[in-house]
C-alpha cells in the first residue's frame, strides 16, 4: 500500500502495510510473517538474508529498504516510502563491509542481472 494511504487504525493484513502489495505480502508469508504484528522485533536485514536463502539468490537490495520501512512502521514510526531508507541501508552495509554494498554503490544496475554477474547465467 502507498504510504500516504496507510491507516494505522485499519491495519489488518500484510497489504495494509506501507510499500507492501501482493508480491511483498507473499514474500512475508514465506518468511513466516502472517500479520503486521508479526514484524514486531524483527530485524529487516535478517529478513532479507532469510528471503535470499529461501530463494537461493540475492534479491534486489531495495527489498531491505522495504523491510526497514515496515519494521519501523510497526515500531511506531510514520509510514514512509521505501526509498526514504536507501541511504541508511547503504551506510549500514558499508559499515559492515558487505559486498552487496560495494556492488550497489558502484553499479546501480548490477542488481538487475545478479545471476549473470555471479556467473550463473543460463
Distance CA 70, CA 110 (A): 25
pLDDT at 98: 67
Phi and psi (nearest 5°) for 12? -120, -40
pLDDT of 121 higher than 80 = no
Predicted TM-score (pTM) of the model is 0.80
Residues 47, 67: contact at Cβ < 8 Å? yes
Q: pLDDT digit string (tens) for 63-116? A: 999 999 999 999 999 999 999 999 999 999 888 876 665 544 444 444 443 333
CA distance 100 to 59: 10
Amino acid at each position: 500500500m502507498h504510504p500516504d494511504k496507510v491507516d494505522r487504525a485499519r491495519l489488518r493484513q500484510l497489504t495494509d502495510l506501507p510499500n507492501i502489495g501482493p508480491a511483498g505480502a507473499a514474500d512475508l508469508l514465506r518468511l513466516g510473517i502472517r500479520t503486521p504484528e508479526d514484524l514486531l522485533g524483527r530485524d529487516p536485514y535478517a529478513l532479507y538474508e532469510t528471503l535470499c536463502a529461501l530463494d537461493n539468490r540475492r534479491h534486489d537490495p531495495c527489498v531491505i529498504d522495504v523491510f526497514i520501512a515496515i519494521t519501523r512502521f510497526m515500531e511506531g514510526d510514520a509510514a514512509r516510502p521505501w526509498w526514504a531508507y536507501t541511504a541508511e541501508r547503504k551506510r549500514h552495509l558499508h559499515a559492515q563491509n558487505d559486498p552487496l554494498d560495494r556492488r550497489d554503490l558502484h553499479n546501480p544496475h548490477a542488481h538487475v542481472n545478479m545471476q549473470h554477474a555471479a556467473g550463473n547465467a543460463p
